[in-house]
Structure 1
Amino acid sequence: MNMKTLLLPLVVALAFIGLSSIFVVDERERALVLQFGQIKAVKEDPGVGFKIPFIQEVVKYDDRILSIDTPVIEVTPSDDRRLVVDAFARYRIADVVQFRQAVGVGGLAVAEDRLASILNSQIREVLGADQVTSNTILSSERAALMLRIRENARVSAQNLGIDVVDVRLKQTNLPDQNLDATFARMRAERQREATDEIARGEEAALRIRAQADRSVVELTSDASREAEIIRGEADAARSNIYAEAYGQDEEFFEFYRSLTAYSNAITGSNSSLVITPNSAFFNYLADPYGGIAPPDRAARGAGSAASADSAAGDAVNVPAVDGASN
């Protein structure tokens, strides 16, 4: 019983020591075996590794491609137009031994601080170089500038055991104060263009309106001329019809003219005529034959017709006179 009691702690201690001497490295990591801060072994392949318990320790580093965002900085290209640049980089630990020697126990935090300084320095140097303007940075040549920044940063980061895989400029903007001034200039430019467009539109509208007014005048003149021509032709046709009708039956024409004169003269409720009773105007009204001429009527002939015409001419509306008969 005493033997079992003594063996159990021994077995536990041996198991603990055995487990403490084993470590596992997966495919995403690389490991360093350190003894009193000194590098004793490098484990780069995934699998099981061994170390001396309590004397040696294992430090693991990520073997994947890592990302770092640089602080936002202001750069001044050769055209003195300041820009605010926000960038990021992709990197990996290429040499774990050199990385450990460079950053010590600080690990990735110290390495990223130093790498951010390197990136900012290279961004300022490349974007602030001669012949690099703000238009160059904002154009398609931006890719070549990022490639130059990456190559320069890669050379500088070799001392850290880091390989800079890629550098990208996320944003390249104007500072707030410059941005407001730029927007103001853009608004002024757009307002000027709008004013020019409005002026051109008003000019075109005036030109079209003047052309339309001239067309209206021309069409109205042509229509008036054609109307006068048609009216003249109609008056001539009417005169011809009257002449032909008078020539066919002079007696009927005289009678019709007298009736028309009566209709035009005796109209309305306040019309008055000042005329003698024996006037030729009332020949047909005073004629006992009702306008049917006896045989001697033909002797009157043209004289009666002239009297009817004269009576028709006398059939005018005149103001009422005291003592006149209706």
Structure 2
Amino acid sequence: MFSKASLAHAGFGMLNIAIPLVIGMVMHNYWLGVMGAFGSLIFMYYVPVNRERTFTQMVLVTGISIISFPISALTASVPWISVLWIGLLAYLIQYTLTSGKFIGPGAFFLMMINGMLATLHRFPMHFTLMLAVYAVIGAVLSFIFSIIEPKLMGQPLSFKLDLTFETDNLQIAVKSLVYAIFAFIAYFVGYSFHLPNYYWFLVGAISVLQGENFVHARKRQFDYVVAAIVGCLFAWGVYEVIGNPIVLAVIAIILLGIICLTINRNYMLGNFFTTPIALILFKLALPNISNSLIEFRLLAIVVGTTIGLLGILYFDHLMKKQKTLNLKDYELN
């Protein structure tokens, strides 16, 4: 069912998230483990199908992580600035990765981590910055594993940077702008609700905004909502039954391995495991956290994906309008 390469990739992904979690436990610093684990999600950008540009994408997303994570942490101290920053960052990342024609998760994981860091205004600035550093460590670790994996598996890896981008494509520019505007709206709505971890509104929106058109986005919304609901129920069961941090860490590691195996084959199945990983990691950092966090997650998923769907609907409207104008120009000429 799964090839040797895909199983090995899942193994490297599990090892990647396990290292920060183990270090955090040994040092009795669970935040180090948790934020390092979130940063290790950058490993999802290691997509060999990009061929000679695989290394380029990893260099790019790692560089973006190193720069953007601390900035997001700094903006957290002034929430309205963080909302504006997330909108700007969404455009920059989405435009860069799309115009570069990279195959992979797009801006999703980068925006998820940045969105989370920008919500931490309840913590002192120095502590939030330290969390950003932990996330950067996880991202750098992912970059290292993206070099180790092909070397050990005997796969070709080009170390040549190919930073060529399609900058004259109006559709890419418009799609990135719509992506950013509706990501901003989702983040602002989440902030306005004054809910903990309101970045989940952003996550719900961008999961749908990745869609190519309205029909595709509607299917992604359905898949994401169903997967997230089932994932929340799974996380609720874990919250009720398991409190041992080692067991929680092992579950998170196994779930990430399953994501590595399934995300490219089945979007819904992959996202089912993404939701409980995030909730379990927060349970590690905050052992006394209540189940209400799961309820807030469900609300954010429904509202966020709806905002994302509206964004794709608006983008489709703009593209149809553009085609009509082009047709009229052609007839006049």
Normalising by structure 1, we get a TM-score of 0.21
Q: Which has the higher strand share?
A: 1
Q: Which has the higher helix share?
A: 2
Larger RCO (CA under 8 A, 6+ residues apart): 2
